[in-house]
Copies of this chain bind each other. A is one copy, B any other.
Amino acid sequence: MKRIGMLTSGGDCQALNAAMRGVVKCLYTSGEQVEIFGFLSGYKGLIKSDFKMLTGDDFSGILTKGGTILGSSRVPFKTIDEPDEEGNNKVECMKHTYHKLNLDCLVILGGNGTHKTANRLRTEGLNVITLPKTIDNDLWGTDMTFGFQSAVDIATDVIDCIHTTADSHGRVFIVEVMGHKAGWLTLNAGMASGADIILIPEIPYSIDCIIEAIRRREKRGSKFTILAVAEGAISKEDAKLSKKEYKKKLEKMKHPSVSYEVADAIAEKTGLEVRVTVPGHMQRGGSPCPYDRVFASRLGAEAGKLILKGEYGFMVGYKDREIVRVPLEDVAGKLKLVSPDATIIKEAKMLGISFGDE
């Protein structure tokens, strides 16, 4: 008999349900008796002991369903040692819930912030297994996170749509793509949709290089240019600022995001019509793509196997095409970013894509 707590934390993404279904299918298929406590709204549910008991039926038919049947919330790691709104110590509350329910382990699905908290709980003596969820694909220790490919599909679809209208009107179009501080999503959606210029946080841009790239296209007869711009894109000058200085600058910005700044600069210097599209939260919604469904199911199954063996303290990840386990202490607090020297960047440049850096 196993008593499993489960929670999804941070921004939701596609295939959270598929991953949880994987864990549960594996446990049920093994014949082991299990009781599943689903904590509601992420760590909040663990802090407040807010949960519902789940059975196999709850996981039936959710393979293809977006979002998370448990709900999610952001409880920032930075404030984990601050008391919650009722004045209680959050870590102690979580430990209390865990022990009160006599859990064998917690299965925690989340991204970077989530993993810091999960590792903290591990150091506090709780049994924890995590699954790497994020459309940003920026988790250290795994080649891939679920949600990523689904988000690539959506962002690509957006740029595909923009392509026909850009072509018809001969405009410059900017599509702002999510991805936090990592360029994976923008890079892949940009390459998939034939974007001409791709701006990612890892390769600071200069407006002059961007304009040159547009001019080169014009010379070759192209009436339009499409830019895929990561929400975290940064200019060469801004990249020299300290974190604090940059944050201040961002706050003073006229526009809600860097994309609009880039748009203004292009319009001003070239006189071209520039339009910005921000698909936003759409990128983390909807049914997971087949790739993510298979991938999340496999991760879930391996998490189930670890539970059955009683081996805790791991993130289940993906390395060189195999599902692997990675010690939580190695994962927590590290980011996986695009290297400006990565082969894929070189290949993108060979394809004629400009990163606005040269």
Name A's B-contacting residues (CB within 8 A). 8, 11-12, 14, 16, 22, 25-26, 28-30, 41, 56, 63-68, 71-73, 143, 149, 152-154, 156-158, 160-165, 167-170, 173, 188-189, 191-194, 220, 223, 275-286, 289-291, 293-294, 297-298, 300-302, 304-305, 320-323, 343-344, 347-352
Contact = CB atoms under 8 A, between A and B. Distances in A.
Contacts of A143: 321
Contact of A189 (B152, B156, B279, B290): B290
Nearest to A155: B290
A25 B165 contact: no
A250 to B, nearest CB: 17
Contact of A154 (B161, B194, B291): B161
A22 B277 CA distance: 27
B67 A285 contact: no
A84 to B, nearest CB: 17
A349 B22 CA distance: 11
B298 A164 contact: no
A343 B320 contact: no
Given A173-B281, A277-B279, 8 more contacts: A25-B351, A30-B350, A63-B194, A66-B165, A160-B286, A162-B282, A163-B285, A301-B348
B282 A153 contact: no
A289 B192 CA distance: 8
Contacts of A321: 143, 320-321
Contact of A291 (B157, B291, B343, B351): B291
A153 B73 CA distance: 30
Nearest to A318: B321
19 contacts: A26-B350, A56-B220, A66-B163, A149-B290, A188-B294, A192-B290, A192-B293, A192-B294, A193-B293, A275-B280, A275-B281, A277-B282, A279-B279, A289-B289, A297-B347, A301-B348, A301-B350, A302-B347, A305-B350
Given A188-B290, A290-B156, A323-B343, A285 B169 contact: no
Contacts of A323: 343, 347
A167 B293 CA distance: 20
A289 B297 CA distance: 21
A29 B161 CA distance: 26
A255 to B, nearest CB: 9
A298 B25 CA distance: 37
A193 B320 CA distance: 24
A202 B81 CA distance: 51
A322 B162 CA distance: 30
B351 A297 contact: yes
B347 A168 contact: no
Contacts of A293: 156, 191-193
B286 A351 contact: no
B302 A149 contact: no
Contacts of A160: 64, 285-286
Contacts of A192: 290-291, 293-294
The 3 closest A-B pairs by CB, nearest first: A66-B164, A161-B285, A67-B164
A350 B282 contact: no
Nearest to A344: B298
Contacts of A320: 320-321
